[in-house]
């Protein structure tokens, strides 16, 4: 699948200063689903979120949508390794990702809500409160399903570096 040239440009612009960091680059070393890295997963979610926004004519704040989608899994560890977390990764990683992202980047309220609520309804009390967060929540689940079933394939062909 492809996203529009306008969205590709928005992705490039919105992630400048984020993807170049060693922390963001480290996501290329962690497996997310199947054989898909966390970096590829978050880029899939970025692209899917842009596509959903466009198709639904949701008129999202594109910068917040893209940044929140990229940072939603910014927890920076191998969740498959039982020594790297307490076994409650699915429930706790949104807050861990938010804390790590806030330590490095200035986030707006929409970006914070996107990150902390992307696992809803699993995290019952962390509800998407803006359309950007709802779209990333949905896109994350669509991408996770695809990546789990088709383990060796990226959903989108985009790398902005």
Pick 31 or 61 by higher pLDDT.
Answer: 61
Tell me if 155 is assigned to some domain.
no
For 27, the domain range is: 5-149
What values do phi and psi take at 37, rounded to 5?
A: -75, 165
pLDDT, average across residues 36-44 = 93
Tell me if 98 is assigned to some domain.
yes
Tell me if 156 is assigned to some domain.
no
Provide the 3-class DSSP secondary structure of residue 36. Answer: strand
pLDDT at 87: 64
Pick 133 or 149 by higher pLDDT.
Answer: 133
Of 37, 24, 15, nearest to 97 by C-alpha is: 24
Tell me if 65 is assigned to some domain.
yes
pTM of the entire predicted model? 0.91
pLDDT bin (cut points 50, 70, 90) of residue 122 is: confident
CA distance 36 to 140: 13
The CATH code of the domain that includes 20 is 1.10.3210.10
Tell me if 82 is assigned to some domain.
yes
Burial class of residue 104 (count of CB atoms within 10 Å of its CB; 0-12, 13-18, 19+): middle
Tell me if 31 is assigned to some domain.
yes
Q: What angle, rounded to 10 degrees, do the helices at 38-56 and 5-15 form?
A: 130
Number of domains composing the chain: 1
pLDDT in tens, 48-98: 999 999 999 999 999 999 999 999 999 877 666 666 666 666 668 899 999
Tell me if 161 is assigned to some domain.
no
């Amino acid at each position: 699948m492809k996203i529009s040239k306008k969205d590709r440009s928005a992705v490039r612009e919105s992630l400048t200063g984020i993807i170049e960091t060693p922390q963001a680059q480290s996501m290329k070393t962690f497996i997310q689903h199947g054989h898909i890295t966390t970096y590829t997963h978050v880029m899939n979610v970025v692209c899917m979120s842009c596509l959903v926004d466009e198709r639904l004519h949701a008129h999202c704040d594109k910068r917040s949508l893209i940044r929140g989608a990229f940072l939603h899994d910014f927890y920076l560890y191998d969740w498959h390794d039982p020594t790297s977390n307490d076994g409650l990764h699915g429930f706790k990683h949104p807050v861990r990702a938010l804390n790590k992202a806030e330590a490095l980047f200035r986030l707006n309220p929409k970006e914070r809500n996107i990150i902390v609520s992307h696992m809803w309804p699993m995290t019952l009390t962390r509800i998407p409160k803006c359309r950007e967060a709802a779209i990333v929540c949905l896109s994350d689940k669509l991408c996770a399903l695809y990546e789990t079933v088709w383990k060796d394939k990226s959903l989108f062909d985009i790398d902005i570096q």
